[in-house]
Each structure stands twice: as structure tokens, then as C-alpha cells.
Structure 1
Amino acid sequence: MNRHLILLVTIGLAPMLAFAARIEFLENIHRIHWNAQADTVYLMEHSIDLSNWSAIGPVLLGNGEERTYDVPHTDPQLIFYRLLRIPADNFKSAASDNVRPNYVAWVSELADGTLRFEFYSLVPSDFADIHYSVNGGSQLNLRMSGNGPRWHYDTPPLADGDSVNFYFTYDREGPVEDTPSYQHIIAGDNSGGSGGGGSGGSGSEYEDVLPPPLSPASYSHGLDFASDQATIRIQPGIHPESMIVTFRRNGGPWQAQFMTKTNDEWRYSLTAEDGDLLEYYFYSITPDHIRSTTFSRSIGSTQSTEPPPLEILAAGRFRDRHENELRFDPYVENYFDRSYFGLTLLDYGDGVDVVFDPAEPMNFVDIKLYDLDETPHEERGIDVRADYAEGHRMIPVDGKFYWRIDAVTPGQFIDLEFTLQRTRTGQQYYTAIFRFFVGEGALTQRITDEVAWSGGATSVDVYSETQYSFAQAAHNALPETLDKFLAGKNVFDRVFDESQGLGPLYNAKSCIQCHANDGAAKPPTTINEMMNGMLFRVTKASPSGQIPHDDYGVQLQDRATTGNFPEGRGHVQYTNQAGAFGDGGAYSLAKPVYTFSGLQGPGFLTAITSPRVAPKIIGMGLLEAIPTSTLEGWEDPNDTNADGISGRINWVTDPETDQLAPGRFGWKAAQPSVSAQAGIALREDIGVSNPIYPDSGEELTDTDFDPLVHYTRLLGVPMRRNWDDPDVIAGEQLFSAMGCVACHVPTVTTTDDHPLSELSGQRIHPYTDLLLHDMGDGLADSLEEGDAAGTEWRTPPLWGIGRTEEVSSHSRYLHDGRARNLTEAILWHGGEGEASKEAFRTLPSAQRDQVIDFLRSL
């Protein structure tokens, strides 16, 4: 049976994998095909364990055409091949095609100006020496580094034009032999002579012919011992024509044996004794190339149950470009149409199986490994794209793609990325880089310091296009939740029209109209500017308390569909309110004054109004996941500890259960859940009925409503920046010392049993207690919501506040956007926040700046 396995491997930094190699399995022969580049020297190597490699066959010269080389192969042992590729201009020793010399030698000019000598003995040798002189100077005689058969030596930095003369000495299991002399001119023309040596260049590179070993998903195995027989078992999860086990006992020689199939299980038995150490791995080459990790077991009475591999489940969406490049953060066209994938990483401690599971067929998937040996990972500059260390084409099996990362150790940092091509369109996409430490069983981040993880494991990284910082899915999203997230984003982005339920009265046609980039809206800056993302809540007085207005309901809607009339418009102007800092510096606050026009009838004279701007919506699922018991532990309505803070829960009726529940969302904490918040916003802001508020019929059904709620729950929180800056640290200490943390609680842990596992058990830093606090007359209006009085406001979460200007293109804060910057937002605090405000106002200017630096870091 003939079979071809195609592998495309990266050359340099080319965006597409370009070097083609394939292996054809013939009877007793492995025939290797490759595109032999002109002016290139090749040497074939093989290995049975991907650790110990040896040269086979002769030197092979490239001619710009496809070449083949046949390797005899008569036993079941799995063999891996790779080609050592050396530019002919760098090659120094004599090279005749299809002739095997005693050695090969070449040089490489490295980026730091050093010259690397390389010597590869093709006969048994114990050492190699280099003898060289520069510009006719004294000759240096040095032992080269390496254990054989390959050695190298790097010179100190040399200058352009330096002439280097050199030769090698090596032993041949007894006789010591000198090579001919060679010359190399740094950055010069070295194309003459035998092999010449190039003017710089990258030197040698390895190209894989077969991929590193691969484990398919869903295989399981076991080891039994009885009556001096050890039986190795495997269920490979796919259907190979044969399975081979390679094993050794007590450190002896490796043996490869065919296994016997019974139903879906393959077995092999060998003679063993109690206490033997057995090492083994499985593989098959027909019809799919697979290989397990190497297992090590003490059998018999000392046999232990090996724990299963650590499993990391992840997901990602397609990207137009790589991390740190433009068009990485925005969503691809038709992002909601199966433009995502699942990722499984099976971590065995000494190797990692990678399974890439796209939502639809792909022509290919390439894996790129970055700083494979870097521990810990060094943070890259935000505008610098990483250079990958190696790239491979993954192995397709039943629509999934597989690869194995070998020779890793616990604690090692791994970062990898994928390139893929969609079958139905031919479009090529990229992914984010996935990062983890071997042995930890969870993804980590580009920034590995968890102090920066505002949203715990959900925290999202921020790259060049910071305006999209709030629009990303939780970092730890799973495939099924990411699929629903993308469907929900499609509803969030939808511009509703009358056929989809818009109106007849409304404030916006879409969610994103108010929450641009999922951020906060901006109030008008002039009296005639139309409000976008800002509205007025409305009530009227009654003997039993405030109730919806007879004419205007609970919200003034300033837009209407064709044939209908808006209820009226709100306008805002500002008056200046002067003040002074404790050090004498002056400041001015902008106090809003509201007027109305176009009102439908005199009934508005009885209306009680409250202006509101749409807030940022990141992390709402995490806030919903804070246990009610935690909120109850925070509240102190009677100020029993006499700290001047009397926060309390706004208990509201949950529209889904008709039971009292803590309010968590809205400026006065009037909504108890993300679904309740989404339902009221759809009905009042867009005029669309929905499963929470069906009115006379659902214009948005569960099919769209559930993904919308899911999207809002799963929006990630951007990681902090500059958290380790001395001024930021000092500002954080001042923030605490001023008493701000009494309301803006820094840290809390979410419930362990949230329906979305991504949100469960997360240690987060939202800087809120979600409680109502009396903020004084300066921020008060007369409107009540639930138990919330006109002077009471929910503590808004501060995470992401430092990115407001980048995401929303403004720096307005507080419930009505009156504060033009963070300093003004603090200075508007009164009531329970008065003491903290005064502490800030009386700080020296430099310390006030530190507090603001801290807030900008969030």
C-alpha cells in the first residue's frame, strides 16, 4: 500500500509555510521527496525518539527541482526523518552529490558579528578542534563545543572585511586527522572555491520530513500485570490498520512489536517481574500517523495508577492578522458564521498533545511555536510582533488537526499560534497566541503577573488597537460558549428596523449605538446636540411612592418610527462651579442644567426625571457571579462600624422569578441579573419586546435573546497596565488610605457554581461593592428606583476605567457624564464619599497625580 504524508514547514519568517517534504511508505523502503533548493547542500538524519539523531546516506546537492532519497526500512520501528539544509555559499568542505564524505563543515555569520564554525563528523569521532587566525595574526587552537558527532565554536565579534583562515582536527577512532585549510571573509564575496562560504546568512536549518509524534484525541490505555505477564492495552480513538508498541524493561534496549486487536482494543503481553520498570509508547503509520507520549510504569506490587494528563480546553475566533498587528482585535467578516475553533491541550509533563478543532472544514492548519524554551515568558512590547521559533503543518484526522510538542519539562512556558485556511472560501486566518506553563493545567496570559488580571482568568490582553479593549470574549472561553458569544454579538450589533420590532418609540436602534465598542456613552456638549446613549428615566409621585408616569412610562423616548411622534427631547447646558485644592490650586466643576422640548402634552409637568448615560458593560457576568452572601456581608445600612459608610443592597423584584433579589446593574442597582438588564434595555431603549418583557408578544425570541445575554455575560475585562509602576503603586496605597476601598472594594471571588464555568471561582478586582450609597446633594436627583433614594447610587466598578478615552473617545464619568476627567469624578463625591473626597482634595498635587495614575492603570 502506498501512502503520502504531506508536511509543509516554515522557512524563516515567511507568512506561508513554504518548504515541502513528503514521505512515501513502500514495501521495505521509506522514499523521501523534497524540493531541493538550488545552491543548497542537504544531509539526511533519522531518529527513533526525536532526541538522538544520526546522519544517514550521502551529501545531496540541491538543483531547484524535486529530489528523492530511498531509506531501507524492514522492521516495525517508527522512524523520524529530518533534512539538515546548509546554504552552499556557507559550506566549506568538499561536496560531491550522492557521495558520503568523512565530515562536512560550514560557517555562519551571526547577527552580533561573531563567526560560527560548524563541524559534523560522519565517521565515529570523539572530538573536533578548530584552528583559526584573523587577518594573518596568531593562530588560535581551540576544542569545539559539543558531544559529537556535531561540534561548533563561536568567535568573538569580527569586523566587515576581516579575513579568517582555518582548518579542523578530528579523530577517527584512533587516527587524528587535519582537514584542508579554508578561508572566509566577513561580509565579503565567499562564493569561490570548494563550497565558498556566504557573506553572512542564517547558516544551517533543519526541515522535518515527518512531524513530531502525535496523539489523537480520545485515546485511552492501560497496563495489567498477572502471572508474570505485563499486558499493555490501548484504545486509539481512531481506526488504524495496525498498532505498534515500543517498549523497554528496566532500562534495557528498546523493542518494537505489533499489537493484537480485540474489538476496539489493541494488546501486547510480555514477560515481566514484580517491580520492573516498564517504559513504552504506541504508534501507527497506516492509515494515519499517530504516536503517544512515552509512559513509565512500575509494575506489580509497586504499580501506581498514573494520573490522566492535564487537560486544557480553550477556544478562539478567527483573526485577520497576528497579535500586535492592525486588524487583530476587530472581528472578521461574518464572525458569527462558524468563525471559531476549539483547542485541546493534553499535558503529560514531558510532552503536550495539541488538538485543533475548527467549527467547519479547513484546507490546512499550521501551528507556530514561539519562545518554547523561555521560562518565564518575557513580556513583549505592545507594538512588536513576536518571531516564532518553529512552524509545522498539523496532521488532519476526521476534521480535526493534531500535533505533539515533545521534550518539555514541568514549569516550562509554551506559547503557540495557528494559521488556517477555510475550505469553503479559501480565506486564510490567524489566531491569538495561546500560552501556558507545563504542569499547571490552565492557560495563562502574555502578562503572567496575576496582579494585572482584573477579571481573573477571564482577563483579556490589549494590543495595538486599544479601542477594542472592551469588545473581547473572556480569555478562558470554551468552544460552545464562544460560539454562542459570537451569535450574541451579532444581535448586539444588529440595527433593528420596524419589521424586527423597533419602536414605535425608542432611544436607539441597536445596543451598540449606546455602547459603542461596548464602552460608555458620552453626554452632549452643546444644548442642541442630540442625545446618543444618554436618556432620562421618568416617574411620578403617588401616595404609595413613585410609580411609572401616566404619559411617559419609565423613560423619555426621543425617537419614533414613521407615523409616530417622539415623546420629547432632553437638552443639557453646564454652569461652572469653582473650587480649590488644599495646596491652593484651582479647579472648576461642570454642573449640568437640563431642559426639555417637543413634549407631548402638559403631563410632563408632573414628571420626575433622572439623566443617565450608558455605562461600559465589561465584566457583567463576573459581577452577577458574586455571591449574594458576599453582598450581604458588605452591607452596613446602619453604619454599625462607625466608618461613615452605610452601603446597602437594593432589593428588587426579579422579573424572571417574581422573587426579591439583590440589584446589581444600572446606576441605582435596579436590575438583578444580566438577563433582566438586557430585557429592560431592549424594551425601553429600542422598543423591542422579549422573553423578559414580552408585552403583547416577543419580537425578539429566545433564539436571539439568550445569545445576547450570553454575549453580555462573557465580555472580558482588560488587564491592568503599569501595575508595577512606582507612582501607580503609591497611588493605590493612597486610594486605600483615603478610604475609597470602603465602597470600591478591590477584590472578591465569584461563586463556585455559576452556570458558566468560565466565570466560576474567579478572583477578580472590580473595585465595587454593588451597594447603594448616599452620595450627597451634589449628585442627587429626585427619582427613586426600588429602594434607592434620589441621593443613592450604586458603586460603579472601576475596572477598565483607565481605558475610557481609548475605547469611547471621551473622558466623561459619573451617571450623567458631568465629570470631564477622573479628578472631577472624585471631586463630585459627597455624602458617604465626602471624607474620601476631602482627603484627595487636600493631597499635594504630586500625590493627586499618583491617585489618577493608579486609576488609569485599572
Structure 2
Amino acid sequence: MSFSSQRAVSAKLSEMRENPLFRTLAWSLTAIVALTSACGDEPAADFAQAQNETPTVLAAAAPVVPLFDANTALEPALVVDTPTALITRLADRSRDRHAREAQFQSYEHYLPLYFENRTHSIEIIDRVAKGGKDITVNITSLWPLDTPDFRAFYQGQAVLSQYWFNVDMTQVDPLHYTATVNYNAKENRQIQLGDRMEIEISPFMLPPVVGRANYYGTAFLYVVGQGGMVPWEGKGSTLDSFPLPQEAWLGGRTTVSYNYSNEPVHLFKQMATNLAPVNAQPFVEGRRLHHTDFGTGAHSESGNPVFTAQQNKLGPAYIARSCISCHPHNGRSLPPDMGPSERDVQFHVNNAPWADLHYTVNGGGQQSFRMPHDNGTNNNTQVVKGLPGGAAVQYHFTIGNASGGLSTTTPVQFTVSDGNSSGSSSYGYTVLSPPLLYTVKVGQVSGTTVTAHPQLGWILQPQSTSGSAEGAVRISSWTATSGTFGDGTAYQLRRPNYTFTGPVPANHSARIAPPLVGLGLLEALAESTLSSLADPDDTNRDGISGRMQTVTDPQTGQQRLGRFGWKASKARLSHQIASALNTDMGVTTSIFRVPDCGAQQTCPGASTELSDADLDKMVRYLAVLGVPARRNLGDAQARQGESLFGSAGCARCHTATLTTSPYHPLAELRGQTIRPYTDLLLHDMGPGLADNLPEDGASGAEWRTPPLWGIGLTAATSGGEAYLHDGRARSLTEAILWHGGEAEASKEAFRTLSSANRAALLKFLQSL
């Protein structure tokens, strides 16, 4: 059915809200709900189960309860101003190489065992800021270090890792080290206010240590007397570090410095520049969970051990086996035909204490791996990722036995194609089908009520750990629509058509996975900030009527402002993660204890498979991922495009600059001036983008304004481009041309621009 009539209903409800009696009643009901939630023994389980099973009713927006306020407990500040010094505290991780070594491409990635004792905290005591003459740098490690190297004041003349000041830090005790700088060796004078002091620390680990011992650190830029680290850009032939202009700080002080190691694929994976010491280990341990297969416990990156504590939590019905499966490199997912034609192959050797895999691809050089071993099952499993579709692979195993002997299997050759498998229960291989990198929400609509699909539940889950899956969906074809720009240039848009195997839901909505940077900053925006942007009745008559989404908190039952998801259906980052674990992987938490099940399957009872402590690590990891800096600030074409972005009306919804609340618990996120280019409000985008499945009060045509930070790095991180909720747009141009409804005027403004002006606007977007 059509939901165009919902606007009329909303207008009537808005009129009702002007009645003082209505407002009093609404606030009273909110208070009653909050009181009721406080009286239950297990409010989290009760409300979460209710959310899984209770119909959604499209209704009026109720008053929302802020996530954070003046009573929220705050983690320690990162910059402390004392009478004698300005103190900055932050955290870092071990790195493979130095920041400017493009020839190695080994600075931004994560080494094996990155989560084991390979983070450290840094304290900078700046006495120059208070009239003193020196700066002390202290570090605290999790493992004894071999007199870590401390470097300051970047030089980069002989090699790109050269500094003017180089010393071995003094050991205070096995986990604490210190160094003091009292001279600017770069300028050959005393340190002064405003000096640019780049620092780098090499935390070489003392034996005995599992894995590699020698590491390097992040190149941080500290401006003397200002406090806090700043994101930097390299200038000149040596790429000397200078503070980026603040307009480039898309994520405030979480913003990541420019990359000079030629690793754009890793730009969404970095720690916030202002990462707090308290969040260093939770960040890397949360990242480990993010990369863990909840069936096998395997890590998505080679060289890391099986996470046995997380095994056998997958399913029974699921979409993907890990978080990273749907968010490649923490970026957005692509429709199946948009991604690389590569496949992963799983090799297995069962009932053996160890096994080595040896294989070649298309007759190339032999690769060999010691396969990860599961002590519980005595099985060995290795997933080789990214083999070209259609490639000829030849493999064999070297297998150890309990008595200390070994055997070698006969070489076997196969072609990499979906579903191909061979071997026995003892050993063999399976070509894994590509994961469904989009979610298909389903339901039944009756009037203004949405209920779960009787056979599929709320989400179509095409994979199963046992028995038959619920069904499957694929893009069977594309419907093309042609048009022309104002200058006569032709363009073509396309809309996906889906084919279902199994039950065919009449109401459904396909969603690609969005990029993951900046989520903590969005959570830190105050409700009052976002409500000031709302204009649900278009009182200013500009054609834009963004409104706040209100959702029920699954832990307390309170009404909250929706922030996360394509329809802003989740209020907290923890709710978004717990929901994805539940519906996408079948992993239950204390927030959502009941799996999403349809009538086709036997649904397990309520449980908590992932602990609250582990969920908190995942939340902290995503909350403090650094946001890449805006690029090409000096590009005249991009500057012109920024102006056109405003004059076309794009910024009416894609709000450029916001400031986060002072009450978020995480110090990294409080009081940050950010540039997300979103208002987080729901907007009617017209029939062209509408589906037929309302969600939590949002009609099929309403979508939350997605942030634009990082959008220019889509191809680099995802391996291709796909935009909008279902990935139909193959370019930013197509994404703009699909805008309708409230954005119709802005779309037309873009469509009628000259070719040169269109290119300028796109250049601006690509700089974000």
C-alpha cells in the first residue's frame, strides 16, 4: 500500500501536540514507562524481547529522554590544565613501519597479535605552556620494553623516519618510561610556545614474547602550549608535519592525519587521534571481536589465533559470520555485481594435532601456511581469502600425527567457483559463496501496523548452521531509467529487482551496510542540537520538513531519539551493534536475548551468548574510530563545489557543522566541533527511493540523512562504489539524481548545472 497519507496524519498529530493537555499526557506516559522499567527484574530482556515480537505502530513522535545529561559519569579529561604544566594524555598502538614510508605500505595496517600487550599510553607534561623550559613525555606499557626509543622534532632529510632529537627513554619500572626534552634541536634554540613537536615512540618488547617484538609507533604532532594532539599534513620534500586547518577536522580531534604510506584501504580502521588511555585495550580487543567468525572463532586477518571463547555462537539462522564480512575495511558494502569477482576457500584437516597447507594459483609460486588448530575439536582450518573466480588451484597438506610422524597428501586441483567442494571428512576444501552484503528487512503491513513476517521474522537470513535456511534473495535484474542534464548530456539510473527463493515477502526493504567511522560522535550529539534542525511541518516553507525519529529504548522502555540505521531505528551505538549481532549473525546479548526467527525454524530460547563486557569493547572500538580528514583544501575546483553544495540547498539536510554534547561519557567525543554533513533527521525522499516497509514510525519514503564524511574514500576502502540504501547508485552523480521528495529542488539544481559546475560539486564531495 502507499504511505503518502502518513504526512496528513502527522500534520494532524502535530496540531494535537499544540494542545497543552496532549503535551502533559505525553510526558506523563513517558514517566510511567520509565518508572515501570525501573521496577522489573530484567528490563533489558523484557524490553528487547518485546521489540523482537511486538508489532510496530506508526504513531506520533513522543518526547524523548536524552541519552546523556549533567548526571552522566564522565571518563577523565584528556587535557588537564595545572598551575605548573599543561598535561595531555592519549594512547597508541604498535605499528609495522614509519608514517611516511610509502614504499613499504606498512604503517596503517594491523600486525598479528595486535590485541596482546601491544598498546601503550602517553603522557605529555608541557611546562613551557606555564613559563617553564622543558617537556616530559611518559609512557606506560602493558609489557616490559627494551628501553623504548623516543624521537622528537621531525627532520626527514636522510631518510623519512629521521628526527632531530633521539634518545633511549629512562626506565622508571618495567612498565613505565620517561624522557624530557628541553631544547628545540630543529631550530637550534630553546623550546617556545607554538613549536611543532612531532613525536614517535618505538615500543620494542622484551623476551619472552609471543610473536614479533620490535615495533614502531604513531607519528603524533604536538603544538607546544596548546594541549592535545592535532591531525597533521606533510609539507615540502620531507613531508614535515604541520597542523591541518580546523575545517579539515571532519571528526574534531578524533580526525586522523593525512596518509603518506600509500594505504588508502586502511583509512577507516584507525584509532582516533585523541584516543584516551582507558580505551586503548578495549579498542583493539573490540576490533578483534569485530573481525571474529562467530562460528569458528577464526580472525579475518592471518596470523591471529582462533578466538575459542567466541566459537559456536553463530546462528542458527544468520546473514554473515562476522561484522567485518558486511563492512569491508569498515566501509560500505556493495551489491553482489559491484564487488570484486573473488572468492574465499576454506581448507580443512580434521583429527590431527597440526597441518600445513600448500597451494598454488594458476601455476604460480607455492604458498604455505601452518593451519590454525582448534584444541577442542583437534581440527585444523584455514580460509584463504580473495582467490580469483575461475582460477585453477592445486593444493596438498602435510599432516602431523599424535606419535610425532607426518604424512603428505596427493596434490588435488580444482577451479574456484561458487559451492565447489571436494575431499573427505578427513581433509578437503570448500569454495565459500560470497556473503550477502546487504540486509533484507521483511514484515507484514496492515494499515499503520507492521508485524513480523510469519515465516521469516523481521530479517531474511539466508544462511543456517543446521538444516535448511529461511530462503535467499538475489538481484535478478536492473530496471533502467534514462534522463538528461540541463546541458543535454544523457544519463541512466537503475533500480534493483529482487528474486526470492523460499517465502516471498510482500513487504521488504534491502539495505547495504554503511561505513562505520564517526558513529561515537553521532551518538554524542545532544538531542536539543538535532531537534533545533527539525521542521516537521515545514514552518519556514523551504520545502524541507525533516523530523526526529523516536524509538523505544530496548533496555529501559524510554522514548529516545533514533540516530543509527537507514531509518534511524536505533538510539544508542550499543543497540545498533547488539541488533546487528542478533539479526545478522544470530548472536544474542543481554539487550536482544531472543533470536530473530520465523515459523520455518525452531527458535532457541532466550540467552546471552556475548557478554556485556565484550559488547562494551565492540561499542568502544566503533565509537572511537578516527574520522579521515578532509582533503584538497587548496583545490579551487573543490572550493567552488563547496559553494555550489550550499547554493543548491544540499546543506539544508546535510548539515555541515555540529558540536557534540559535553556529557558523553567518553572524553574523546565530548565537546567536539565536527563536520559530518548530516542532520540525522528523517526526510521524505519521494517515490523513487521509497520501499513498502515502514519502520519505527518512518514511512517507506522516509530515510535518515546519511553522513558524508569519508564518502570520497568509498572506492579506496570498499573496492568499488555504491550509494543510497540499496546500493543502486554507481556514482555520486547517480546518488544525487535519485533524490526526490524534499530533495527534489536540490536534485534539479544539480541536474541543471553546467558540466563544469557539476564536476566542481562532485570534486567537493570527493574531498570529504
Q: 2:737 is matched with which residue?
A: 827
1:543 deviates by 5.0
Distance, in Å, in 2 between the alignment partners of 1:638 and 1:664 is 20
Per-residue deviation, residues 15-61 of structure 1 (Å, max 9, x unmatched): xxxxxxxxxxxxxxxxxxxxxxxxxxxxxxxxxxxxxxxxxxxxxxx
Q: Which residue of 2 aligns with 1:621?
A: 520
Q: Distance in 2 between matches of 1:420 and 1:518?
A: 27
Aligned partner (choices 696, 700, 711) of residue 786 of structure 1: 696
- Find the partner of 1:694 among 593, 596, 607: 593
Alpha-carbon separation, structure 1, partners of 2:469 and 2:193 = 67
Instruction: Note the 1:138-157 alignment, pairs <5 A.
Output: none
Q: Contact between 1:504 and 1:564, CA under 8 Å: does it hold in 2?
A: no
CA distance in 2, matches of 1:311, 1:741: 38
1:536 Cα deviation (Å)?
0.7
In the alignment, structure 1 residue 408 sits paired with structure 2 residue 171: no
Distance in 2, Cα, partners of 1:657 & 1:473: 31
1:280-301 CA-partner distances (Å, limit 9, x unpaired): xxxxxxxxxxxxxxxxxxxxxx
Matched, 1:744 2:654: yes
Q: 1:436 deviation in Å?
A: 1.1
* Counterpart selection for 1:333 from 104, 112, 116: 112
Range with bigger deviation, 547-556 or 835-844: 547-556
Q: Residue 439 of structure 2 corresponds to which residue in structure 1? A: 535
Give the greater-gyration-radius structure (CA): 1
Q: Deviations over 1:310-354 (max 9, x none)?
A: 001011000011113321101121111121111001001121001
SS of residue in 1 equivalent to 2:532: helix
Match of 2:500 in 1: 596
Change (3 A) 1:386 1:446: farther
The Cα shift of 1:530 comes to 5.4
> Match for 1:434: what amino acid?
F
Are the counterparts in 2 of residues 524 and 572 from structure 1 also a CA contact under 8 Å?
no
> Which of 321, 329, 345 is the equivalent residue of 1:509?
321
8 Å CA contact retained: 1:470, 1:717: yes
2:471 aligns with: 567
- Of Structure 1 and Structure 2, the greater helix share is in 2
Counterpart among 158, 166, 174 of residue 391 in structure 1: 166
* 2:280 counterpart of 1:482: yes
Distance between the aligned counterparts of 1:727 and 1:390, measured in 2?
40
Deviations 1:256-304 (CA, angstroms, capped at 9, x unpaired): xxxxxxxxxxxxxxxxxxxxxxxxxxxxxxxxxxxxxxxxxxxxxxxxx
1:417 to 175, 185, 200: 200
Q: How many residues align?
A: 540
Determine helix, strand or coil for the equivalent of 1:428.
Answer: coil
Describe the SS at the equivalent of 2:644: helix
CA distance in 2: counterparts of 1:615 and 1:739, whole angstroms: 24
> Is the 8 Å Cα contact of residues 342 and 479 (structure 1) preserved in structure 2?
yes
Higher relative contact order (CA 8 A, sep 6+): 2
Aligned pairs (5 A) from 1:127-142: none
Correspondence for 1:450: 246
**Which of 636, 640, 643 matches 1:730?**
640
- What amino acid does structure 1 have at the position aligned with 2:336? P
Aligned with 1:676: secondary structure?
Answer: helix
3-state SS of paired residue (2:92): strand
User: In the alignment, what sits opposite 1:579?
Assistant: 483
Q: Tell me how far 1:815 sits from its aligned partner.
A: 0.4
TM value normalised by structure 1: 0.61
Q: How does 1:169-248 map to 2 (within 5 A)?
A: none
Q: C-alpha displacement at 1:371, in angstroms?
A: 3.4
Query: Residue 256 of structure 2 aligns with which residue?
Result: 460
The residue that corresponds to 2:94 in the other structure is 318
Aligned to 2:127: 348
Answer yes or no: is the 8 Å Cα contact 1:811–1:820 preserved in 2.
Answer: yes
Q: Is the 8 A contact 1:522 1:532 kept in 2?
A: no
Match for residue 18 of structure 2? none
Q: Residue 307 of structure 1 aligns with which residue?
A: 83
> 1:846 & 1:535 partners in 2: Cα distance?
37
Q: For residue 671 of structure 1, what is the aligned residue in structure 2?
A: 570
Preserved contact between residue 370 and residue 387 of structure 1 (Cα < 8 Å): no
More strand by share: 1
Task: Say whether 1:655 aligns with 2:559.
Answer: no
For residue 848 of structure 1, report the CA deviation from its aligned partner.
0.3
Give the superposition deviation at 1:386.
Answer: 4.7
Change (3 A) 1:668 1:651: same
Query: Aligned-pair distance for 1:446?
Result: 1.5
Q: 1:748 deviation in Å? A: 0.2
- Contact 2:654–2:677 (8 Å) recurs in 1: yes
- In structure 2, relative to structure 1, the CA distance for the partners of 1:531 and 1:833 (3 Å cut) is farther
Where in structure 2 are there 5+ consecutive unaligned residues?
1-80, 183-189, 234-242, 297-310, 340-417, 419-432, 595-605
Identity of aligned residues (%): 42
SS in 2 for 1:429: coil
Task: Please list every run of 5 or more consecutive structure 1 residues that lacks an aligned counterpart in the other structure.
Answer: 1-304, 373-379
Deviation (angstroms), 1:563: 2.6
Choose the corresponding residue for 2:147, options 343, 348, 364. 364
Q: Alpha-carbon deviation of 1:568?
A: 2.6
Mapped partners of 1:551, 1:306: distance in 2 = 63
Cross-structure match for 1:720: 630
- RMSD value, Cα: 1.9
Shift of 1:526: 8.3
**CA distance in 2 between partners of 1:314 and 1:572 (Å):** 50
In 2, the alpha carbon distance for the partners of 1:467 and 1:416 equals: 25
- Output the CA distance in 2 between the equivalents of 1:666 and 1:317: 30
Match of 1:492 in 2: 290
**TM-score, with length taken from structure 2:** 0.68
Q: Structure 1 residue 544: deviation in Å?
A: 5.1
C-alpha distance 386-427 of structure 1, shift in aligned 2 (>3 A): closer
